[in-house]
Structure 1
Amino acid sequence: MIDPQRVDDAKRVLGARLAGWRNARGLTQLALARRVPVSRTTIAGVERGQQCPDRIFWQRCEAALAAGGELLAGYDDYRCLKQQLDQEKVEAAQRVRWGEVEDRSLPTGTHGVPAAVPARESLRDLAAADLTSGGPSGLTAPLARVAGVAVAGETDFHDGDAVTLAVMSDGQAMSLRVSRRALLELAAGLTAVPVVTTTGVSHPRAVDPAVVDHFAELRALLVQADDRLGGLTILSTVEQQIALIAALRRQARGQLRNRLLSTEARWSEFAGWLSDDLGDRATGDRWLDRAGSMAQEADDQEFWAYVLARKAQRMVGTGDEDCVVGLARAASRLPDTPPLVHAFAAIQQAHGSAIEQDASAFQAAVERAHTLVATAKPTGESSTLGSFCTRPYLAAQEGEGWLRLNQPRRAIDSFTNAVNTWPDRYRRERGVYLSRTAHAYLAASEPGQAATVAAEALTTATTTGSVRVRRNVNALARRLEPFSGRPEVRQLLDQLATSG
C-alpha cells in the first residue's frame, strides 16, 4: 500500500524544486506567475506543497525556467505515485461498496411502497446477468435496462454510504441497496435505453412523504453523474424520473402535493440545464419555463428567484440583453431569495452592466456578489440553491465581464485564477472557462497561447460531450485560421478535424 504521507511529501518536494529553480533564475513569484501565466497565489501554493496543478502548468514552468526537464520529470513521478494511491483506494472501496439486491417482487409496505424481503443476491452479479433469458430471480429485464428508478422505503434511506432504491422493471418491483458510487455507475447503464413513461406501472395510492427527500438525494447523485458522464448520458434518466415524480404528484394532496411540485420544478430546471449544455436551447427554454410555472404554483419563492436568475443568465448574448438586468433585479427583489441566489443574480447584473460598457457598475455588482458569497452560511450540501457560487465561479464570471469590457489582460488573470482553483470533480465547467481563457488570449494578441489552452478545453469537450465547450473552441478556431502557420494553431486545427 502507498502511504498517503509519501504522496504529500512528493508534492512538497516538487514545490521546493520549483522554488529552487525560480530563485536560481532570479525571478519573483509574481514574475514567474506572469510567464506561466497563473496567479501569484497559485505559485505560492505550489511551492508550499499545498496544490499541484496539471501537466500543462509544469510544461510552462519548464519553458519559463529552462529547468532541463527536472520539473516535468518530478511532476510525472508525483502523478504516478498519486495514481497508484488512488487506484489502491478504488480497489479497497470496491470490495465493500457493492450492496445487495433483493430478488423478488415486493409486498406492499405500510405506506403502499415496496417492503423489504429477505432473499438477496449480489448487485454486481445481477447487473452482469442476462435477465432477459431467465436469469436470477426470473426478472424480465436486466438491471441496466430498468425503466425507472424511484427511491422508496421508510426511514432507512441512509446507511453509511448506502442508498435504498425501489426499481420498477416491466411492472415488477425490486428493492436495491447500493452505494452512492455504484448508483452513479447504475445511472450510466440506465441511460443507455430510450425514454420510457410510467404507463402501465402500478403506483401506490398513498404517497410516502419521504420520497421528496429521496428524489433530492437522487438528483444530487445525477448532477455528479452529469459531470462525469456528460448530459447526453443521463438526460433520458432525468426525464424518466420527472415522469415518475409527476405521477406521484398527481396522486398527492395538500402540502405534500406542493412539495412534489417543487421537486418536479427542480428536476425540470436540471433537464433544462442538460439540454442547454447539449446545444438544444429550445428544449432548455421549455424545461425552464415549466420549472418556473411549477415554482410559482407551489409558492416556492426561493426557487422562483433562482429560475429568474437562470433566465437572466440565458439572456446574455441573445440580443435581448436589456432583459438581463431586469430579470436579475426581479430575482433579488423576492423576499425569500437566499444569499447565494442573490450572488448569482448580482453576477447577472454585472454581465448586463458589462454589455452596456459600464465598468464601474460591473465592478460594483461583482463586489456585491463576492460579499454575499463570503457572508453566506456554509451548508456543506451540494444541492443547496446557488451552491456553485464559489470564489472560483465568481472569478470566472469576472473574466467574462472583463472580456466584454475589452480588457483581455484582466480577463486572463481572472479566468486563470478560476481554472487553477476549480474543483476537480467539475471537469466540464473547467473546460468551459478554459475555452473562454483561450478567447481572452487571442484578444490579447497571443494566438499561440490561445491555441494551446483551447486544445486542453477541446479534450474536456470530447471527454464530457459538452456542446458548449466545443462551440467555444470552434468559434476560436475560425478566428485563428489566419495564424495557421504557427505550430500550436496548426495542432489545434488538426485536433478539431480528427475529433469530429
Structure 2
Amino acid sequence: MIDPQRVDDAKRALGARLAAWRNARGLTQLALARRVPVSRTTIAGVERGQQCPDRIFWQRCEAALAAGGELLAGYDDYRRLKQQLDQEKVEAAQRVRWGEVEDYSLPAGTHGVPVTVAARESLRDLAATDLTSSGPNGLTAPLARVADVAVAGETDLRDGDAVTLAVMSDGQAMSLRVSRRALLELAAGLTAVPVVTTTGVSHPRSVDPAVVDHFAELRALLVQADDRLGGLTILSTVEQQIALIAALRRQTRGQLRNRLLSTEARWSEFAGWLSDDLGDRAAGDRWLDRAGSMAQEADDQEFWAYVLTRKAQRMVGTGDEDCVVGLARAASRLPDTPPLVHAFAAIQQAHGSAIAQDASAFQAAVERAHTLVATARPPTWESSALGSFCTRPYLAAQEGEGWLRLNQPRRAIDSFTNAVNTWPDRYRRERGVYLSRTAHAYLAASEPGQAATVAAEALTTATTTGSVRVRRNVTALARRLETFSGQPEVRQLLDQLATSG
C-alpha cells in the first residue's frame, strides 16, 4: 500500500523544484504566473506543496522556464504515485463493499448499551454475528437484520472522533459506537448487507428532536464518502436513511414534523444528485421532484429556492434556455434565498444566456455571481450550507462552460485551467468533470493532442470515482478525436478508454 505521506512528499518536492527553477531564471511568482497564465496565488500554493495542477500547467511552466523536462518528469512521477494510491483506495473501498475488510472493530457503546464485535472480522462474517446488548431488553440483533442506521451522538465531529449510531432492528432501538472513519466504511459496507424493509416495523413512540441534527451530520459524512467511494457504493445507504427519516416523520406532528420533512427533502435531493452522477436521469428526476414537494409542504423556502436552481441546472443540457433562465429567476425571487444560492441561480441564468448566444447577458450574470460570492460569508469546501460549493474555482469552471458555448474556446481554456488548478485535491470527481470539459475546449481550439492528454487524466478520475458523467464526457470527446488517431496522444487515449471498460 502506498503511504499517503509519500505522495504528499512528492508533491512538496515538485513544488520546491518549481521554485528553484523560477529563482534560477530570475522570475518572481507574479511574473511566472503571467506567463503560464494562472494567478500568483496558484504559483505560491504549488511551490508550498499545497496543490498540484494538471499536466497542462507543468507543460507551460516547462516552456516558460526551459527546465529541460525536469518539471514534467517530476509531475509524471507524482501522478503515477497519486494514481496508484487512488487505485489502492478504490480497491480497498470495493473490499469494504463486499465485506472483505480487515481491522474492522466497533468499540463498546454508551448509555448502558455496550456492543462488542470481534476485531479483524470481515463484514460478510459480521453480518451473521450477533450484536448483543446488555440493556434492559437483552436485545440481540444480527447485522444482517438491521433495517436502518442513523447518527445519534455528538456534534462537531472531527476525524478522530467516535460516533454513536442508532440502529433500528425488528422494531427495537440499539446503539453502537464507531469511529468517524469506520462510519464511512460502514456506509459502504451496508450496501452489501441484506436489508429488510421498514414496512410493518414498529418504531419508537416518541422522537427526539435532536435526531434532525444527527441526520444532518450523517448526510455530511456520506457526502464525503461519495467523493471517496463513489455514488454507487453509498446510494443504497442513502435510500435506507430516507426510509428511516420518513418513518420517524410519520410519528410526529407540528414543528418537528416540518423539520423532519425538510431533512427528508435534503436527503432526497442528495439521492437525486447521486442518481444523476450515476447516469440515471429518470431517478434523478423523481428524487428532485420529491425533494421539491417536501420543501414546499414544510414551507422551507430556502431549500425550495435551492431545488428550483438545481432544476434549472439540470435543464442546461437540454438546450431550453428559456426554462433555464425562468427557473433560476424564480429561485432568486423567493424572499429567503441565501446569497450563495442566489449566486448559484445567477450562474444558471448565465448558462441560459450563453445557450441563447447572448454574450453580454452571460457576462453580466457571471459578474453578478462573482459579486454575490465575494460579499457572502466565505464558504468552505467542507461546509454543508446551501450553495457552499459556490466558490471562485466553481465560478471559473462555470464561466468556462459559458465561453465554450459562446464558441470562444481560448477564453474557455483559461477559465477551466484557472478552476482546475485551484480545485481542492480531495474533490477529485468534480475536478475530473472540469478536466473533461477543458479537453473539449482544447479540441474546439484545434489542439487534438492536448485535448487527448487532458482527457486521459479525466478518464483516470472517472475510473477511480465511478463517475458516469466524467466518462460520458470523455467518451463523447473520443468519438470526435477518432479522425486524429494518428497522433500518439489520441491513440493512447483511445486505447485507455478501450481497456478501462
- Asked whether the equivalents of residues 107 and 115 of structure 1 are also in contact (C-alpha less than 8 Å), the reply is yes
Match of 1:251 in 2: 251
Q: Is the 8 A contact 1:140 1:170 kept in 2?
A: no
Contact 1:99/1:178 (<8 A) preserved: no
Q: Secondary structure at the match of 2:318?
A: coil
Residues 1:33 and 1:138: Cα distance change in structure 2 (over 3 Å): farther
Q: Secondary structure at the match of 1:242?
A: helix
Answer yes or no: is the 8 Å Cα contact 2:126–2:143 preserved in 1: yes
Give the match's secondary structure for 1:424.
coil
**CA-CA distance at 1:169 after TM superposition:** 4.1
Hey, what's the Cα distance between the residues in 2 that align with 1:40 and 1:321? 36
Residues 137 and 59 of structure 1: is their aligned pair in 2 closer, same or farther, counting only changes over 3 Å?
A: farther
Contact 2:354 2:402 in 1 (8 A): yes
Deviations 1:383-420 (A, max 9, x none): 10111111110110000011111111111011011111
- Are the equivalent residues in 1 in contact too, given 2:102–2:120 (CA < 8 A)? yes
Tell me which moved more, 104-113 or 299-308. Answer: 104-113
Q: Is the 8 A contact 1:101 1:177 kept in 2?
A: no
Offset of residue 167 of structure 1: 1.7
Deviation at 1:71, TM superposition (A): 3.1
Q: Deviations over 1:128-163 (max 9, x none)?
A: 969899999999876588432123369999997221
Counterpart-to-counterpart distance in 2, 1:269 and 1:332? 19
- The answer (yes or no) to whether the contact 1:212–1:260 under 8 Å persists in 2 is yes
Q: Using the alignment, how far apart are the partners of 2:82 and 2:328 within structure 1?
A: 43
Alignment pair present for 1:38 and 2:38: yes
Q: Which residue of 2 aligns with 1:181?
A: 181
SS class of match (1:316): helix
SS in structure 1 at match of 2:370: helix
Change (3 A) 1:172 1:350: same
- The CA deviation string for residues 410-433 of structure 1, in whole angstroms up to 9 with x for no partner, is 110110111111112211101000
Range with greater deviation from structure 2 (460-469 or 76-85): 76-85
With over 3 angstroms needed to count, the CA separation of the structure-2 counterparts of 1:179 and 1:208, relative to structure 1, is same
CA distance, structure 2, for counterparts of residue 14 and residue 109 of structure 1: 46
Alpha-carbon contact 2:16-2:48 (below 8 Å) kept: yes
Whether the 8 Å CA contact 1:272–1:285 is kept in 2: the answer is yes
Secondary structure of the 1:26 match is coil
> Cα deviations across residues 307-358 of structure 1 (Å, max 9, x unaligned)?
0000110111213221111110110110000011111001111111111111
Distance 1:448 1:146, change over 3 A: farther
Q: CA deviation at 1:175?
A: 1.4
Distance 1:102 1:201, change over 3 A: farther
CA 1:225–1:490: 2 relative to 1, 3 Å: same
Greater shift, 70-79 or 14-23, is seen at 70-79
Rounded to whole Å, the distance in 1 between the matches of 2:20 and 2:101 is: 56
Specify whether residues 101 and 356 from structure 1 end up closer, same or farther in structure 2 by C-alpha distance, changes over 3 A only: closer
Shift of 1:359: 1.2
**Cα separation, partners in 2 of 1:478 and 1:142, compared to 1, 3 Å:** farther
Q: Aligned to 2:121, what secondary structure does the other structure show? A: strand
Which piece of structure 1 moves more, 251-260 or 157-166? Answer: 157-166
- Aligned partners of 1:183, 1:456: CA distance in 2, in Å? 30
Taking the aligned partners of 1:215 and 1:248, their CA distance within structure 2 comes to 12
Query: What's the secondary structure of 2:127's corresponding residue?
Result: helix
Task: Return the offset for 1:50.
Answer: 5.5
Q: CA deviation at 1:361?
A: 1.2
Q: Which moved more, 1:190-199 or 1:36-45?
A: 36-45
Contact 1:58 1:71 in 2 (8 A): yes
Asked whether the equivalents of residues 459 and 474 of structure 2 are also in contact (C-alpha less than 8 Å), the reply is yes
Structure-2 change in CA distance of 1:172 and 1:57 (3 Å): farther
Q: Shift in Å at residue 110 of structure 1?
A: 14
Partner secondary structure for residue 276 of structure 1: helix
Contact 1:99-1:179 at 8 Å conserved across structures: no
The worse-fitting range, judged by mean Cα deviation, of 200-209 and 36-45 is 36-45
Within 2, Cα distance between the matches of 1:194 and 1:104?
19
Separation in structure 2 between the aligned mates of residue 232 and residue 461 of structure 1, nearest angstrom: 13
Q: Which residue of 2 aligns with 1:446?
A: 447
Look up the SS of the partner of 2:140 in the other structure: coil
Answer whether contact 1:435 1:469 (CA < 8 A) is retained.
yes
Q: 1:484–1:92: structure 2 CA closer, same or farther, 3 Å change rule?
A: closer
Stretch moving more, 127-136 or 221-230: 127-136
Q: Choose 209-218 or 133-142, whichever is displaced more.
A: 133-142
- In 2, Cα distance between equivalents of 1:365 and 1:148: 44
- Using the TM superposition, give the Cα deviation of residue 68 of structure 1 relative to its aligned residue in structure 2, in angstroms: 3.8
Q: Relative to structure 2, which stretch is displaced further, 433-442 or 30-39? A: 30-39
For 1:289 and 1:227, locate their aligned partners in 2 and report how far apart those are by CA, in whole Å. 24
CA distance in 1, matches of 2:109, 2:19: 64
User: In the TM superposition, what is the alpha-carbon distance from 1:51 to its structure 2 partner?
Assistant: 4.1
The structure-2 alpha-carbon separation of the partners of 1:10 and 1:102, relative to structure 1 and needing over 3 Å to count, comes to closer
Check whether the contact 1:350–1:365 (CA below 8 A) recurs between aligned residues. Answer: yes
Q: 1:321 to 1:125 in 2, by over 3 A?
A: same
Question: 2:27, 2:102 → 1: CA distance?
Answer: 64
Gapped regions of structure 2 (runs ≥ 5): none
Distance 1:112 1:247 in 2: 25
Q: Larger deviation: 416-425 or 127-136? A: 127-136
Q: What percent of counterpart residues are identical? A: 95
> Hey, what's the Cα distance between the residues in 2 that align with 1:389 and 1:30?
26
Q: 1:66 is matched with which residue?
A: 66
Asked if structure 2 preserves the Cα contact closer than 8 Å seen for 1:102 and 1:116, the reply is: no
Q: Contact 1:354–1:401 at 8 Å: present in 2 too? A: yes
Question: After alignment, is 262-271 or 174-183 more displaced?
Answer: 174-183
**TM-fit CA distance, 1:220:** 0.6
Which piece of structure 1 moves more, 21-30 or 398-407? 21-30
CA 1:489–1:8 in 2, change beyond 3 Å: closer, same or farther? closer
Retained in 2: the 8 A contact 1:105–1:174? no
Change (3 A) 1:412 1:200: same
Greater Cα shift, 302-311 or 162-171: 162-171
Classify 1:347/1:80 alpha carbon distance in 2 versus 1 (closer, same or farther; 3 Å): closer
Distance 1:196 1:40 in 2: 55
How far residue 18 of structure 1 moved from its aligned partner, in angstroms, is 2.4
Farther-moved stretch of structure 1 (57-66 vs 439-448):
57-66
